[in-house]
Structure 1
Amino acid sequence: MKLLFLIVAYLVAVTLPLILSAWVGGPPRQFHQELASGLGILAFSMVLAEFILSGRFKAVSNGVGLDVTMRFHQIMARTALVFALLHPFLYQGTPSGGQRPWDPTRALTITTDFSVLSTGIAAFLLLPSLALLAIGRTQLDFKYETWRLLHGIGALLIAVLLLHHTVYAGRYGSQPVMSWVWLAMTGVAVGSLLTVYLLVPLLQKARPWRVTSTVRLTPKQWEVTVEPDGHRGLDYKAGQFVWLNVGHSAFSMKENPFSICSAPAAGPELSFMIKELGDFTRTLGQIKSGTVAYVDGPYGNLSVDGRAEPGVALIAGGVGLAPLLGILRQMRLTGDSREVKLIYGNRVIDQIAYREELSEEDVVYVLSEPPESWHGEVGFIDAALIDRVFSEKEVSEWVFVMCGPAIMMDIVEDHLIKRGTPSHRILSERFNYD
């Protein structure tokens, strides 16, 4: 229901300028000219909507899940790009040359005034560049904070360029009503960006956290724990995640998303299971107690709170254990009577974390490169393993919660649906782990 509401809200928002433009009207033109204007209008409104679909607004991402929000963000960005690239070429064959004596309002012609065309041309070049940088960020080996800053600045610049081009070069955008509509929509988009980059950090600065411990769990995995400094902490559900900034200014771009592996019932401290992957994670062992930290969250809907299923199936790959461990701990602390089974996969035995704590649970360990003395499951978390671990009744009645490599979750989700598990009983959160 939430997803349907958000889709309807999105469609209303992006088509509103198109509907209003049709209402404003004007002398009829050839179909390809109207199509060109329509695609341009849709492209601009979709670009502005992308600011809200950034994943940093809880009212959106927590309602349907960050996976869905970000995937929708990517698909709509690429759709807007196609519309924007087609837009100018559909004007081919249209009379041009600025205002004509027989068309003083430019209602039937396309201007060649370079001052208003230049902003459209600049946006036309920047938009695919921004999309390609986002798609190829991993391959280009950009630091996340560098890419995020460039992405934000690029999006802001494109919005301003398109606003100028639409209002001064567009047939419909030049109408007073439409000019105000575009100005208002651009203001909301820019305001959302300023909220993420300025307002949220400002609020975080008033609610700092302090590192209380940094513990090595495995050769390349750590547990970092922070406590609130002068405030009551964070209201969150087991399984959610936050953006964590350790040792930097509240306005720094050096923040990363980490799932909370502690339980709300355990108190205000937050613990994170973090694997060494990037520049920040390689310095975890150097973090000292008392180091200032900032937390933005909670985000995500990987939670079993309030669900009525008789059992909870947890499927983790590598450090994807973190949110599931938070769920396990919360269930234990609150006396939750539901049955629980955990499948926990890793490459080698040294990557298994919290083994002593997990000994109290019904856990199936899986190693893809096991030692000769290994007596657990061998290989990967796949359909055959799911069939061995879960009965037909459990597959049809339990809630399945998973986090780990995307390929693992794709295989498991497809198999569960094939075996009859309703999609609303499959919760997942996708991050990239090796």
Structure 2
Amino acid sequence: MPAALLVLFYLGLTCAPLVMAAVQGHAPRPLRDELASGVALAGLAIILVEFVLSGRFRVISGRIGMDVTMRLHQLLARAATVMILLHPYLYAGPQSLRAGLTPPGSAPLNFDWLGLWPGIVAWLLLGALMVMALGRNGVFRHEHWRAMHGIMALIVAGFGVLHATRAGRYSADPALAMLWWGLFAVAAFSLLWVYVIKPAMKARRPWRVSAVSRLADRTWELCLSPVGHKGLRYRPGHFAWISVGKLAVSLDENPFSIASAPADGPDLRFVIKELGDFTSRLGEIKPGTPSYVDAPFGSLTLDRHRDAAGVALIAGGVGIAPMLSHLRQLDADADPRPRLLLYANRTVDQIVCGAELDARAKGGPLQVTHVLSEPPEGWTGETGFVTAEVIQRHFAQDALRTWVFVLCGPPPMLHAVEKALMSLGVAPKNILLEQFSYD
């Protein structure tokens, strides 16, 4: 499904409650009351649809990118939270405290306790959920936070739907009530898919660690081999969620870009840097350790850029992983297009697969340029960071106009390089980037 259709489908779902409310024919109330109902309807719809923007549905993240998917998830969740938390304070019209005498379709605001208490619970839990989301770093492990966040959000959504259908003027309509419960069922299925169905599917296609080797300073290559199946269908630029030495149903998953190429065979290779938790124990992992893979994900692929005149790869640190996948597959396909790799690191001993890169650059269409921020004495290559000036020295104006530029690295680098490329006239559609940090 094209990205434009996904956007239209999302807008249709989130606006449907407003449209269904507008055609019910109720007598108009004061503007603030209608605004209060409107923001509540829109906010609840966004929260329910948010469950499919979790990043684990390839039909979405594969079209617009994992980073875009998660950024939208964050921004829309914050907007919906503000709407929901604000809407009780917007009401200004007639109100009744007499339970049972103000049915949902009447003009006065219904304070019947049967409909009011689910809204109070949802309102309080939603506020707590947002506070926890904003302050989660350093408090929760990402895997545990992800599960807790999803379960709490589903509870909030359930109480929100119960409140809307019991106390809402418009949601008491059978058709709109059916839509609310239908969206809630989709939300519940989304969590079931991620935490039950997908793990069950992974258990039927196990992997094992076939090798662990040191590539550079605090950087390792992890190789996984399929057990009893043919492996994974993927494209260069994809990434995978992997769990090593855990059960198939486990919260301990980590996303890593795939460094191997489909042409290399069924084994998957990952370039991983020691950053704590699982990654700090890479050197202790033994061959034969059972593993599970949920993949492929991501949009850092060249599928929609087959007509590009050349391929520019700009990597920072372990962002070299998807670039290795691209280079290995391009060579396997004997792709004649010129390609240039700008590879940024802090020091020489952080360069990954330097010998392989040099070998691929000899006599082929690849040119490799290293950029070091802390170069050794006598270094004659690029120094500092990948700036607009560095890019201009290595790319002709025609290349900036006709090549595709693939970026992967730390978020500050990605943003700086993207800005530099656009300042040099590179079209945004010719810039591919994806990041795993969304703060």
Q: TM-score, normalised by structure 2?
A: 0.94
- 1:369 and 2:380 equivalent? no
The CA deviation at 1:98 is 3.4
Aligned-pair distance for 1:317?
A: 0.6
Corresponding residue of 2:312: 313
State the alpha-carbon separation in 2 of the partners of residues 106 and 392 from structure 1.
65
Letter in 1 for 2:358: S
**Is the CA contact (8 Å cut-off) linking 1:382 and 1:408 kept in structure 2?**
no
Please give the secondary structure, in 2, of the residue aligned with 1:186.
helix
- Given that 2:39 and 2:83 are in contact with CA atoms closer than 8 Å, whether structure 1 keeps it comes out as yes
Amino acid at match of 2:193: T
1:27 aligns with 2:27: yes
Q: Residue in 1 aligned with 2:226?
A: 228
How much has 1:100 moved relative to structure 2?
6.9
Are 1:282 and 2:272 an aligned pair?
no
- Following superposition, the deviation at residue 35 of structure 1 comes to 1.1
127-136 vs 154-163, which moves further: 127-136
Question: The residue matched to 1:370 in structure 2 has which SS?
Answer: coil
Contact 2:388–2:424 (CA<8 Å) still a contact in 1?
no
SS across alignment from 1:70: helix
Partner Cα separation in structure 2 for residue 99 and residue 31 of structure 1: 25
The structural deviation recorded for 1:135 is: 3.3
Q: Distance in 2 between matches of 1:187 and 1:428?
A: 34
- 1:288-307 correspondence runs (5 A): 288-305=286-303, 307=306
2:163 corresponds to which residue?
A: 165
2:364 is matched with none
Deviations 1:116-148 (A, max 9, x none): 32221222222233233333333x342111211
What is the match of residue 134 of structure 1?
Answer: 133
CA distance in 1 between counterparts of 2:286 and 2:127 reads 43
Corresponding residue to 2:429 among 420, 424, 427: 424
Q: Secondary structure at the match of 2:335?
A: coil
Tell me the CA shift for residue 104 of structure 1: 5.1
Cα displacement (A) at 1:62: 0.4
Indicate if the aligned counterparts of 2:33 and 2:93 stay in contact, CA closer than 8 A: no
Deviates more, 1:419-428 or 1:23-32: 23-32
The answer on whether the counterparts of 1:99 and 1:105 sit within 8 Å (CA) in structure 2 is: no
Matches of 1:430 and 1:227 in 2, distance apart? 26
Asked whether the equivalents of residues 104 and 172 of structure 2 are also in contact (C-alpha less than 8 Å), the reply is no
State the distance in 2 between where 1:132 and 1:218 align. Answer: 39
Give the counterpart letter for 2:415 in structure 1.
D
Query: Is the contact made by 2:93 and 2:108 (CA closer than 8 Å) also made in structure 1?
Result: no
CA distance change for structure 1 residues 16 and 260 in 2, over 3 Å: closer, same or farther?
same
Q: Which residue of 2 aligns with 1:208?
A: 206
What amino acid maps onto 1:344 in structure 2?
Y
- Deviation of residue 218 (structure 1)? 1.7
Residue 387 (structure 2) aligned to one of 382, 385, 392: 382
Which shifted more, 17-26 or 321-330? 17-26
Distance 1:231 1:135 in 2: 42
> C-alpha distance in 2, partners of 1:185/1:249?
31
Aligned length: 431
SS at match of 2:356: helix
- TM-score (structure 1 length as normaliser): 0.95
Residue number in structure 2 paired with 1:411: 416
Give runs of aligned pairs for residues 111-190 of structure 1, distance below 5 A.
111-138=110-137, 140-190=138-188
CA drift at 1:375: 2.3
Q: 1:350 to 1:129 in 2, by over 3 A?
A: farther
1:289-317, Cα deviation, whole Å (9 max, x unpaired): 11111111101111124611121000001
Give the drift of 1:388: 1.1
Distance (Å, rounded) in 1 between the aligned partners of 2:208 and 2:104: 63
Q: What residue in structure 1 maps to residue 56 of structure 2?
A: 56
1:344 Cα deviation after fit: 0.6
For the 8 Å contact 1:344–1:366, the answer to whether it is kept is yes
**CA deviation after TM superposition for structure 1 residue 429, in Å:** 1.0
Structure 1 window deviating more from structure 2 (78-87 vs 35-44): it is: 78-87
Aligned to 1:219: 217
Determine if contact 2:94/2:109 at 8 Å carries over to the other structure: yes
- How far does the alpha carbon of each residue in 1:367-408 deviate from its partner, in whole angstroms, 9 at most, with x for none? 111222322211111111111111111111111001012222
| Ranges in structure 1 where 5+ consecutive residues have no aligned partner | none
**Residue 300 and residue 149 in structure 1: after superposition, are their counterparts in 2 closer, same or farther (change >3 A)?**
same
CA contact (8 A) 1:383 1:411 kept: no
Amino acid in the other structure paired with 1:4: A
Alpha-carbon distance between aligned partners in 2 of 1:132 and 1:316, rounded to the nearest angstrom: 35
Give distance in 1, aligned partners of 2:45 and 2:258: 36
One-letter amino acid of the structure 2 residue matched with residue 251 of structure 1? V
Output the amino acid matched with 2:351: I
**1:114/1:99 CA distance change after superposition, 3 Å:** closer
1:270 aligned onto 2:268: yes
Please list the CA deviations of residues 215-262 of structure 1 after superposition, one character each: whole Å capped at 9, or x if unmatched: 111231110010111111111001110101111111100001100000
The change in CA–CA distance for 1:393 and 1:106 in structure 2 (over 3 A counts) is: closer
Any conservation in 2 of the 1:27–1:107 contact (CA below 8 Å)? no
CA distance in 2, matches of 1:99, 1:105: 11
Q: Distance in 1 between matches of 2:294 and 2:417?
A: 31
Structure 1 pair 209/88, CA: closer, same or farther in 2 (3 Å)?
same
Greater Cα offset, 115-124 or 31-40: 115-124
Q: CA deviation at 1:94?
A: 3.4
Could you say which residue in structure 1 is the equivalent of 2:75?
75
* Shift in CA distance, 77/270, structure 1 to aligned 2, threshold 3 Å: same
